[in-house]
Chains A and B, each alone.
Chain A
Amino acid sequence: MEGATQPASKGGPIRDPFPGGADGSARARRLRGAAAALVLLALFVAVPLISRGYLLQFATDILTAVVLAYGWNLISGFTGYLSFGQVSFFGLGAYATALMVMRAHVPWYFAAPLSGLVGAAVALVLGPIMLRLRGILFALGMLGLARILEVVFNNWHYAGGSVGLSLPAELTPVAVYVGMGLLALAGFGISAFFVRSGFGLDVMSLNEDEEAAAALGVPTTRVKVIAFMLSALLPAIAGGLVAWNRSYIDPTSGFDPTVDLQTVVAVMFGGIGTLWGPFLGAAALMIVGEEFLVYFPNLELALYGIVVIATVLAFPGGLVGLANRLGLLRRPIVLSPKSLTAAPPEPRPREYTGPVLEVRDLTVRFGGLTALDHVSLSVRSGETLCIIGANGAGKTTLFNAITGSVKPTSGEILYLGEPISRVPTYLRAQRGMARSFQIPRLLPSLTVWENVVLASRHGRQSHRAAEHAAWVLETIGLAQMWRDPASRLTPGYQRQLEFARVLALSPELVLLDEVMAGMTRDEQEAVRSVIRRLPEFGVAAVACVEHVIAAVADLCDRMVVLDFGRKIAEDTPEKVLKDPAVVRAYLGEPL
């Protein structure tokens, strides 16, 4: 951490602290992208000029598959919630369109987008309920939804029952084709937004580690529901267009589970969670599938099944994964700091003058075990408090209760004078309560830069997130490795990155959980110097749980000792460390 002992940057242009990723490769990437876009546009325009029959229909089908694939990828790929029932939205959209046209005489150009909104509305209602569940339950819940909808529409006479509804041939096949093409483009656009934006970074972070993301201020439920809504919008509108195309809709075709199968297979094959995966996979599978069916009719399902199995077992990254190994189609780094001016944080006025953190009579029980027993302490502004104790004394549970990942059985926690027991973890982080984890919970597939800018986006310098993140990285000394995936860092650097994320939130209160564990003497010294400088970073108070007492004894103003969930001492470090009861509790009872 060499940077920590150098004077902090005062702002102004920096001689490229973020080496690599030179403009050259970005330009080449843009040229390739433009070329690909032109080719696709040419193909798109050519098809209806060549044919009005089979080829047009086939092209429309490919585009439909692409749209569905993009939709599925949003919730299952980027967000990580596998859904085996996205066809629910497809059918809902189809029915919504048909009902609007047939029963309410809504013109077609309103019906399609409105169907999209119907799908999104359903996702909005179901999302908060279902997205809090484990992955499997969500997947099966969606599967169940599709089945329920099929039964419901089968029995709903207003919607035509099992016969369904037919639509007048108002839209020409070319119009449907163009509409689907635009929708596919929209799908690509939304996915590109996911891949490049801060919101997309939020999505990817909660996919990797939801708890860590919440600790960095990501409003996880809100993000998930928005992703879910977008993933419902696309198939819903597609359903409407397909209903037009076929001129009818019935429960069987509207909620056909094979549609889900094809979508899943397409995205897995193309590369789940990528920008180009859904497009490549859907197109490849449709084309290959057509050929295959010529020779082996009626074996479609088996083909899809085998492709899924083979992809998961042999190349889970799909086509894009293979391309990545050749250096192609790599995900660009989000909010890249190239040509960025790092600047120290803007000072914030501090209104509240009382203790930053107050813990009153806190008790936490897990079943029969009392982890914390009526613990009270406070951390004043400008102070560093150290909490020590043997393993199992309750130190981490205390932190977990303060940050909100554990619910207290009784007692109160006040942050900046206000009770926070009802405030969710991510909001506590946004309000300036930052916590490091005992075992670093980095987001392994995201780069060092992205790990830090994710935090700064939600912290108290969020209006200048990128600049602040750049400054943090430089100050801590990790700027050289901004492009490395966090998983490739050595343990020492990983801990520094954990620290950097905490600082990126620009917190009032910093909670450090055994930050010295496993560090070399040099690394400890570097961390110590950062801790000493925390007030410079705008931090009002620090509470650290430590095992390696000597490393923090001279940094802290007061020391609290926990033993079996109870506070047994609280005083200046010198007095506490001389207390025989403390020495016994900490170093252990001699036999």
Chain B
Amino acid sequence: MNDAAVASDAPALALENIVAGIGPLTILDGVTLELRRQEVVAVLGANGAGKTTLLRTIAGLLPPRSGRINLFGEPIEGRPAHLITRAGIGHVPSGRELFPRLSVADHFELGGRLSPPARRSELRARILAMFPALGQRLAQRAGTLSGGEQQMLAIARALMTDPRILLLDEPSTGLAPKIVLSVFQTFPMLREQGVSVLVAEQSLTLGLSAADRAYVIDQGRIVLSGDARDLATDHRVVDTYLGR
């Protein structure tokens, strides 16, 4: 972490005109957005709009073709993904990507390996308090957990990397409403702890109700943005989203 670059006014994350794609396909076509400190931002959009690609590009899994990504003022575009994790961006990927034959405790350990032992214990205690269900299953293999528990573990693992920014890719997928509720209830908690959250969501109402601000992405471009409460009553959001 480069303290010199932690300029007091630099946003947590700033994307400028990001173009990214796979092979001949262009999926992100000039995306500009911002995640300010201590805020929860939702990226909404229909399937195929580019939400997952956006998060993967920020996390470094997909190098952008052009454009800039600044983390607290420091450029990180093109950096290897594991170094971006070390720089403070935690990623909860779509599909969770857990280690099915490793235990819950192992996941905590692996997530926390970048931190010194004292900090690690502190994080662990705090995260287990957020997800008590995991605390009861520490020795259980990740592959045998339920969908909701797996999602919680994926978030816990990302939080163990002590991130300043947390990226979540459609965390509500396949989860029962009660579980989704408990997952999304952690976002304000994280915000208080100084972690900025960027969540990509397919579920419109859910995304807007959990976030401070939101962006709507369509065909690889940001088409709408604003405060969550304003967008919740903006009919254009639903129109874009439902393809009207």
A positions within 8 Å CB-CB of B: 368-369, 390-392, 487-488, 490-491, 514, 516-518, 520-521, 524, 547-551, 564, 587-591
Check if A590 sits within 8 Å of B173, measured CB to CB.
Answer: no
How long is the Cα–Cα vector from A237 to B204 in the complex, in angstroms? 67
Give B142 Cβ to nearest chain A Cβ, in Å: 13
Contacts of B49 in A (CB 8 A): 518
How long is the Cα–Cα vector from A354 to B47 in the complex, in angstroms? 35
A487 partner, pick from B24, B219, B239, beta carbons under 8 A: B24
Give A268 Cβ to nearest chain B Cβ, in Å: 25
How long is the Cα–Cα vector from A516 to B23 in the complex, in angstroms? 22
Check if B180 sits within 8 Å of A518, measured CB to CB.
Answer: no
> Closest B-chain residue to A588, C-beta based?
B203
Check if A564 sits within 8 Å of B176, measured CB to CB.
Answer: yes
Give B180 Cβ to nearest chain A Cβ, in Å: 7
Give B222 Cβ to nearest chain A Cβ, in Å: 16
Contacts of A520 in B (CB 8 A): 219
Check if B243 sits within 8 Å of A548, measured CB to CB.
Answer: yes
How long is the Cα–Cα vector from A490 to B25 in the complex, in angstroms? 6
Check if A517 sits within 8 Å of B47, measured CB to CB.
Answer: yes
Tell which of B8-16, B68-76, B129-137, B205-213 binds the partner: B205-213
Check if B181 is an interface residue, CB within 8 A of chain A.
Answer: yes
Check if B205 sits within 8 Å of A590, measured CB to CB.
Answer: yes
Give A64 Cβ to nearest chain B Cβ, in Å: 41
Whether A524 contacts B243 in the complex (CB less than 8 A), given A391-B174, A487-B23, comes out as yes
Q: 5 nearest interchain CB pairs?
A: A518-B48, A588-B203, A392-B174, A517-B48, A548-B243
Check if B170 is an interface residue, CB within 8 A of chain A.
Answer: yes
Give B214-244 interface residues, CB cut-off 8 Å to A.
219, 239, 242-244
Check if B147 is an interface residue, CB within 8 A of chain A.
Answer: yes
Contacts of A368 in B (CB 8 A): 144, 146
Whether A547 contacts B174 in the complex (CB less than 8 A), given A488-B24, A588-B206, A589-B181, comes out as no
Check if A590 sits within 8 Å of B209, measured CB to CB.
Answer: yes
Check if B98 is an interface residue, CB within 8 A of chain A.
Answer: no
> Closest A-chain residue to B244, C-beta based?
A550
Give A173 Cβ to nearest chain B Cβ, in Å: 53
Check if A589 sits within 8 Å of B202, measured CB to CB.
Answer: no
Check if B46 sits within 8 Å of A517, measured CB to CB.
Answer: yes
Contacts of B24 in A (CB 8 A): 487-488, 490
Check if B103 is an interface residue, CB within 8 A of chain A.
Answer: no
The number of A-B residue pairs with CB atoms under 8 Å apart is: 72
Give B55-81 interface residues, CB cut-off 8 Å to A.
none
Contacts of A516 in B (CB 8 A): 243
Contacts of A549 in B (CB 8 A): 242-243
How long is the Cα–Cα vector from A490 to B27 in the complex, in angstroms? 11
Contacts of A392 in B (CB 8 A): 173-175
A587 partner, pick from B174, B204, B244, beta carbons under 8 A: B204
Q: In the complex, which of the residues B147, B174, B177, B181 has the most CB atoms of chain A within 10 Å of its own CB atom?
A: B174
How long is the Cα–Cα vector from A551 to B176 in the complex, in angstroms? 27
How long is the Cα–Cα vector from A378 to B176 in the complex, in angstroms? 27
Q: How many positions in chain B have a CB within 8 Å of any CB in the partner chain?
A: 35
Check if B47 sits within 8 Å of A491, measured CB to CB.
Answer: no
Contacts of B196 in A (CB 8 A): none
Give B152 Cβ to nearest chain A Cβ, in Å: 16
Whether A547 contacts B47 in the complex (CB less than 8 A), given A391-B173, A564-B176, A591-B184, comes out as yes
B positions within 8 Å CB-CB of A: 23-25, 46-49, 144, 146-147, 170, 172-177, 180-181, 184-185, 201-207, 209-210, 219, 239, 242-244
> Closest A-chain residue to B144, C-beta based?
A368
How long is the Cα–Cα vector from A125 to B114 in the complex, in angstroms? 55
Check if B243 sits within 8 Å of A589, measured CB to CB.
Answer: no
18 A/B residue pairs, CB under 8 Å, sorted by A: A390-B202, A390-B203, A392-B173, A490-B24, A514-B48, A517-B47, A518-B46, A518-B47, A518-B48, A548-B243, A550-B243, A564-B174, A588-B172, A589-B177, A590-B205, A590-B206, A591-B184, A591-B185
Check if A591 sits within 8 Å of B181, measured CB to CB.
Answer: yes
How long is the Cα–Cα vector from A589 to B208 in the complex, in angstroms? 11
Check if B47 sits within 8 Å of A514, measured CB to CB.
Answer: yes
Give B60 Cβ to nearest chain A Cβ, in Å: 23
> Closest A-chain residue to B147, C-beta based?
A369
How long is the Cα–Cα vector from A390 to B210 in the complex, in angstroms? 18
Given A391-B170, A547-B47, 18 other A-B contacts at CB below 8 A? A368-B146, A369-B147, A392-B174, A487-B23, A490-B24, A517-B46, A518-B49, A524-B243, A547-B46, A548-B242, A548-B243, A549-B242, A550-B243, A587-B205, A588-B205, A589-B180, A589-B203, A590-B205
How long is the Cα–Cα vector from A582 to B15 in the complex, in angstroms? 36
Check if B180 sits within 8 Å of A391, measured CB to CB.
Answer: no
Contacts of B180 in A (CB 8 A): 589
Contacts of B202 in A (CB 8 A): 390-391
Contacts of B244 in A (CB 8 A): 550
A589 partner, pick from B25, B146, B185, B205, beta carbons under 8 A: B205
Check if A589 sits within 8 Å of B206, measured CB to CB.
Answer: yes
How long is the Cα–Cα vector from A392 to B172 in the complex, in angstroms? 9
Contacts of B239 in A (CB 8 A): 550
Check if B206 sits within 8 Å of A591, measured CB to CB.
Answer: yes
Give B7 Cβ to nearest chain A Cβ, in Å: 34
> Closest B-chain residue to A394, C-beta based?
B174
How long is the Cα–Cα vector from A391 to B87 in the complex, in angstroms? 32
How long is the Cα–Cα vector from A514 to B46 in the complex, in angstroms? 11
Contacts of A551 in B (CB 8 A): 243
Contacts of B203 in A (CB 8 A): 390, 587-589
Contacts of B172 in A (CB 8 A): 588
Give B51 Cβ to nearest chain A Cβ, in Å: 11
How long is the Cα–Cα vector from A516 to B170 in the complex, in angstroms? 20
Q: In the complex, which of the residues A369, A488, A551, A587 has the most CB atoms of chain B within 10 Å of its own CB atom?
A: A587
How long is the Cα–Cα vector from A467 to B144 in the complex, in angstroms? 53
Q: In the complex, which of the residues A368, A551, A591 has the most CB atoms of chain B within 10 Å of its own CB atom?
A: A591
Check if B219 sits within 8 Å of A518, measured CB to CB.
Answer: yes
Contacts of B175 in A (CB 8 A): 392
> Closest B-chain residue to A494, C-beta based?
B25
Contacts of A521 in B (CB 8 A): 243
Give A45 Cβ to nearest chain B Cβ, in Å: 49
Give A449 Cβ to nearest chain B Cβ, in Å: 19
How long is the Cα–Cα vector from A520 to B239 in the complex, in angstroms? 14
Check if A591 sits within 8 Å of B210, measured CB to CB.
Answer: yes
Contacts of A487 in B (CB 8 A): 23-24
Contacts of A550 in B (CB 8 A): 239, 242-244
How long is the Cα–Cα vector from A551 to B241 in the complex, in angstroms? 11
> Closest A-chain residue to B219, C-beta based?
A520
How long is the Cα–Cα vector from A391 to B46 in the complex, in angstroms? 10
Give A524 Cβ to nearest chain B Cβ, in Å: 7
How long is the Cα–Cα vector from A447 to B102 in the complex, in angstroms? 44
Contacts of B177 in A (CB 8 A): 589
Contacts of A564 in B (CB 8 A): 174, 176
How long is the Cα–Cα vector from A390 to B177 in the complex, in angstroms? 12
Q: In the complex, which of the residues A516, A548, A564 has the most CB atoms of chain B within 10 Å of its own CB atom?
A: A548
How long is the Cα–Cα vector from A491 to B47 in the complex, in angstroms? 14
Give B213 Cβ to nearest chain A Cβ, in Å: 16
> Closest B-chain residue to A564, C-beta based?
B176
Give B13 Cβ to nearest chain A Cβ, in Å: 24
How long is the Cα–Cα vector from A587 to B242 in the complex, in angstroms? 10
> Closest A-chain residue to B176, C-beta based?
A564
> Closest A-chain residue to B208, C-beta based?
A590
Check if A591 sits within 8 Å of B209, measured CB to CB.
Answer: yes
Give A498 Cβ to nearest chain B Cβ, in Å: 13
How long is the Cα–Cα vector from A514 to B243 in the complex, in angstroms? 13
Give A484 Cβ to nearest chain B Cβ, in Å: 11
